[in-house]
Amino acid sequence: MIPSPSLRSPRTISKLLVANRGEIAARVMRTAHALGISTVAVHSDPDADAPFVALADEAVRLPGASPTETYLRSDLVIAAARATGADAVHPGYGFLSENAGFARDCAAAGLTFVGPTPEAIASMGSKLEAKALMAAAGVPVLPGATVTDDTDLDAEAERIGFPVLVKAAFGGGGRGMRIVRSVADLHDAVDGARREAASAFGDGTVFLERFVEDPRHVEVQIVGDSAGEVVHLFERECSIQRRYQKIVEESPSPAVDEALRDRLGSAAVAAGKAIGYTGAGTVEFVLDGASGSSSAGSVSRPAEFFFLEVNTRLQVEHPVTELVTGLDLVALQLRIAEGHPLPAEVTGARIDGAAIEVRLYAEDVPAGYLPATGTLHRFSVPELPGIRVDAGVTDGSVVSPHYDPMLAKIIAHGTTRAEAARTLARALARAEIHGVTTNRDLLVGILRDQEFLAGGTDTGYLPRHPELVNPQPDDGEGVRAVAAALALQAQHRAGAPVLRGLPSGWRNVGGPAQSVAYSVGDRTLEVTYAYRRGGPQAQVNGSGRLDDHIRSHAAEPHRVTLEVGGVRRTYAVHRIAGWTFVDGPDGSSAFADVPRFADPNAVAHAGSLLAPMPGTVVRVLAAAGDTVTAGAALVVLEAMKMEHTVAAPVDGIVGELHVAPGDQVETRQVLAVVEDAAEAAS
């Protein structure tokens, strides 16, 4: 057990440097400002115009783009604190937040580190050593083993038992993590996890751990002061994940009753006391044997839980705890860092209602959750009662390939879980998010799914619901395409030099129909419309009769009202840079303009390997002239700290290879060309 430090004399924080970026940097700054504390931002070159930089009182540039050049440079961060006269550093989450050396360096520089002691961080820095410490404290743990150059991987995996999880020893967020079900896949999984962990956390150490199939992921928020008092602030359910990274979190868990809550809370407090924890932290568990219900939460059989790790920092999902307890965890962190004891509102906290958080990512879900980049032309979430938005972006923000693709966290609080889910689904569905592909539709689908609403969430939830991951086009897409076309027509007339009050194509006795085409993914929608005596009428891809299918009641450049089957709906329309974004009560669509004349040079060779996203070439696994089979890995890219493999599209011979390790590539850039074997031989 690591001894707790004695309660130190209060030390006032007057200027806080936030050693992070994006939404968490902005969130910390808002609380600091509310407490009268000045703030300093540090930023990389791509983040120079980011909202969190503008929010800070002062900002210091960290030259470069990659995390290793910027946000992971503890020396540059401390130099920035000295240059601005900051007396404290808040690390946020990720980057240096769980780096014991950074916490020590802050102390050596006379800076208050807003977090646990370096000793507590170090004790949890190695997840395997942390498990040994937890076992000694009486917390249930899963078997595992650290991987070193001398480790007999096959023997250790067999001892632990398949399936095993390869996991980064330092860091989190699903990076450096692989599930392995057989010896044949073990070595490649370990190598890939090491590279990914080194890139994301600056340390490539990984370990093996027994993998529990489809458990619930339940974590407990703890807070401790420097007098040694540690309490828990109840649990969070974080089971819905993709790529081992959470996307939906809530408190309380629908699977945890009071008896289980007491057991989990006691284990979490024991974990915190074992390491002398100060500040806000989280003890994570896998929960096996619990099933939720739409009522107060029931347990089908006695639940078992096992320790995963202690996150010695603020969690991404901390807002759900804040909303059900009424506490500000960042304010609490700052006061504990100043030396104050836990206040009565913390030691006597109670659960009020339910809160659900979703993580809005810039990613293409049907394509395998590939990170997306680009300019976010519009970002607007409706202001509804109980809705909170923690965002790192605003209109015009550029989403780069250098960092995690999370745009914002959207959180709802309600009297009941069902109320929170319903409100959050509406806020997401009616949000205007233009310019970057996101996981918004997936999140709305989850929040309205019956299994989710019944509390049936575990880590196998998404694999059970392919219809949410790969949804079919909705019925309203064609109607939204009509709204796009009529808004474009109204825009043209608004800019016409003469007779701008009359629609184009208008005739006293009727006239020919007009058409415009849009692309959505690999599909094309052709909208045909004409102005009749009763007003504009339209059809899509020839469906229905032009005189009775879709009628327009009003059409302006940014607003169109349509009637279909006797139901009238109004759509908001936003055109920019060859795209039209349409938002309505039946959903949202992004339409790309289809040019009248195609560019023949834009067509790639049939066997071309195209980059699915911007990124860096990590490895090239073939050479020109090699014979390959369809599905064989040829190029490995790294984007947003994750590796992505690009495979051969057909059996054949590598005829052209256009990239080398270290190259930067853009979306749809040709990486290589595989020539069909039969054609190459002819």
Question: In the 3-class helix/strand/coil scheme, how is 37-55 assigned residue by residue?
Answer: CEEEEEECCCCCCCHHHHH
pLDDT digits (tens, 9 = 90+) for 368-387: 898 899 999 999 999 999 99
Query: What 8-state DSSP symbol labels residue 197?
Result: H
pLDDT band at 278 (very low <50, low <70, confident <90, very high): very high
Lowest mean pLDDT among 36-45, 55-64, 662-671: 662-671
Report the percent of the chain where pLDDT is more than 90.
65
2-10 mean pLDDT: 56
pLDDT band at 456 (very low <50, low <70, confident <90, very high): very high
pLDDT band at 144 (very low <50, low <70, confident <90, very high): confident
52-71 mean pLDDT: 97
pLDDT at 46 over 70: yes
pLDDT at 640 over 70: no
Residue 614 preceded by cis peptide, ω within 30: no
Plot region of 150 (φ>0 → left; ψ -120 to 50 → alpha; else → beta): alpha
Report the percent of the chain where pLDDT is more than 70.
89
Full-model pTM? 0.84
Do 105 and 74 form a contact (C-beta atoms < 8 A)?
yes
pLDDT score of 68: 93
pLDDT at 618 over 90: no
Plot region of 553 (φ>0 → left; ψ -120 to 50 → alpha; else → beta): alpha
pLDDT band at 682 (very low <50, low <70, confident <90, very high): low
CA distances from 518 to 321, 481, 485, 515, 545 (A): 44, 8, 9, 10, 20
pLDDT digits (tens, 9 = 90+) for 314-344: 999 999 999 999 999 999 999 999 999 999 9
Edge-to-edge strands, sheet with 615-620 = 642-647, 633-639, 615-620, 664-665
Specify which of 147-151, 221-225, 472-476, 631-635 reaches the highest per-range mean pLDDT: 221-225
524-545 mean pLDDT: 81
pLDDT score of 472: 86
Place of tokens 């996101």: 438
pLDDT at 509 over 60: no
pLDDT at 348 over 90: yes
Q: What are the residues whose beta carbons fall under 8 Å from the beta carbon of 355, sequence distance 6 or more? A: 250, 251, 319, 320, 321, 323, 324, 411, 412, 413, 414, 420
Q: What are the residues whose beta carbons fall under 8 Å from the beta carbon of 283, sequence distance 6 or more? A: 219, 220, 222, 267, 268, 271, 272, 307, 309, 310
pLDDT score of 3: 55
pLDDT band at 298 (very low <50, low <70, confident <90, very high): very low
pLDDT score of 664: 84
Tokens of 266: 């006691």
Q: Residue 473 CB: number of other CB atoms within 10 A?
A: 12
Q: What's the whole-number average pLDDT of the chain?
A: 89
182-203 mean pLDDT: 90
- What is the gyration radius of the CA atoms in the chain, in angstroms? 27
pLDDT score of 531: 77
Closest CA to 364 of 399, 390, 411: 399
Crossing angle of helices 100-108 and 118-125, in 10° steps, is: 160
pLDDT score of 513: 82
Specify which of 299-313, 363-377, 544-558 reaches the highest per-range mean pLDDT: 363-377
pLDDT band at 435 (very low <50, low <70, confident <90, very high): very high
Give phi and psi for 184, each to the nearest 5.
Answer: -60, -30
Lowest mean pLDDT among 261-265, 507-511, 524-528: 507-511
Do 182 and 163 form a contact (C-beta atoms < 8 A)?
no
pLDDT at 288 over 70: yes
Q: What are the residues whose beta carbons fall under 8 Å from the beta carbon of 674, sequence distance 6 or more? A: 607, 608, 609, 628, 634, 648, 649, 650, 652, 653, 654, 655
Q: How far apart are CA 69 and CA 12, in angstroms?
A: 32
pLDDT digits (tens, 9 = 90+) for 77-95: 999 999 999 999 999 999 9
pLDDT at 294 over 50: no
Plot region of 138 (φ>0 → left; ψ -120 to 50 → alpha; else → beta): left
182-190 mean pLDDT: 93
What are the structural domains of the chain? 15-122 (3.40.50.20), 143-211 (3.30.1490.20), 477-593 (3.30.700), 600-681 (2.40.50.100)
